[in-house]
């Protein structure tokens, strides 16, 4: 008997990505192996002050994800579950670095499931090497003149240097 047709896995990896870190990139790499198609989605949040504009973040992400053939970069505003439906996706991928992330992520995942019961949130544990890396900390270190080459791709390090030198 023929095996039943395998359904296509389309996953969305949402976030602010201000800017993308090596921790995010590790998740994209691993997520791209789990999904047939992975959409990295930048949240357009006009209420949140960001270092890079949405267009800049999308452009930087597109450069960095070029090696992954099944990864696309997009952006969204409003509810994540609406974007998930619009893109015909069935999974949301989020990373967890520590227990402190878990509580926040659990709330979001429950809310998203209540809003859209068919969409599953899949959590990936951050790689140990990046378990303390966040966009926020990377921005702080860069703005104080610290070396962030270990935490972000070279292209992002360059953009960070240019942006913080203009601000300081
Ligand atoms: O990288 P971040 O900033 O932690 O990402 C948070 C994100 C984008 C996943 C979350 O803020 C989000 O999904 N926002 C969209 C608005 C929404 O759907 N809210 C209801 C679920 S809590």
The residues annotated with a catalytic role in the active site are 24, 48, 97, 135
CB of 27 sitting under 6 A from ligand 1: no
Domains of the chain: 10-167 (3.40.50.620)
CA of 92 to the centre of ligand 1 (A): 11
> What's the confidence (pLDDT) of residue 7?
85
> What's the confidence (pLDDT) of residue 132?
95
CA of 80 to the centre of ligand 1 (A): 7
DSSP string over 12-58: EEEE--TT--HHHHHHHHHHHHH-SEEEEEEE--TTS--SS-HHHHH
H/E element holding 126? none
Distant-in-sequence contacts of 55-61, Cβ < 8 A, 24+ apart: 56/159, 57/16, 57/17, 57/18, 57/19, 57/20, 60/19, 60/20, 60/155, 60/156, 60/159, 61/17, 61/20
Please give the number of the atom of ligand 1 that sits closest to the Cα of 82: 18
Q: How far apart (Å, rounded) are the C-alpha atoms in residues 90 and 81?
A: 10
> What's the confidence (pLDDT) of residue 20?
98
CB of 43 sitting under 6 A from ligand 1: yes
pTM for the full predicted model: 0.95
> What's the confidence (pLDDT) of residue 106?
97
Are 87 and 49 in contact, with CB atoms under 8 Å apart? no
- What CA–CA distances, in Å, run from 153 to 6, 19, 138? 35, 10, 12
In sequence order, the 6+-apart residues with CB closer than 8 A to the CB of 152 are 19, 20, 21, 22, 138, 160
List per-residue pLDDT tens for the chain, 168 residues long. 777 777 899 999 999 999 999 999 999 999 999 999 999 999 998 778 999 999 999 999 999 999 999 999 999 999 999 999 999 999 999 999 999 899 999 999 999 999 999 999 999 999 999 999 999 999 999 999 999 999 999 999 999 999 988 776
CB of 115 sitting under 6 A from ligand 1: no
Residue nearest atom 19 of ligand 1, based on CA coordinates: 79
C-beta neighbour count of 108 within 10 angstroms: 14
CA of 13 to the centre of ligand 1 (A): 10
| Token pair in block for residue 155 | 């292209």
> What's the confidence (pLDDT) of residue 121?
98
């Amino acid at each position: 008997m023929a095996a039943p047709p395998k359904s296509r896995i389309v996953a969305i990896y949402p976030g602010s990505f201000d800017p993308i870190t090596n921790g995010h990139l590790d998740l994209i790499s691993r997520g791209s192996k789990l999904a047939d198609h992975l959409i990295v989605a930048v949240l357009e949040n006009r209420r949140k002050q960001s270092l890079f504009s949405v267009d800049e973040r999308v452009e930087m992400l597109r450069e960095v994800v070029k090696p992954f053939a099944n990864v696309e970069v997009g952006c969204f505003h409003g509810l994540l579950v609406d974007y998930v439906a619009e893109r015909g996706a069935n999974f949301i991928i989020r990373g967890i670095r520590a227990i402190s992330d878990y509580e926040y992520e659990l709330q979001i995942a429950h809310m998203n499931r209540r809003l859209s019961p068919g969409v599953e949130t899949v959590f990936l544990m951050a790689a140990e090497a990046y378990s303390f890396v966040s966009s926020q900390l990377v921005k702080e270190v860069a703005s104080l003149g610290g070396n962030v080459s270990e935490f972000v791709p070279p292209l992002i390090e360059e953009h960070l240097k240019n942006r913080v030198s203009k601000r300081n």
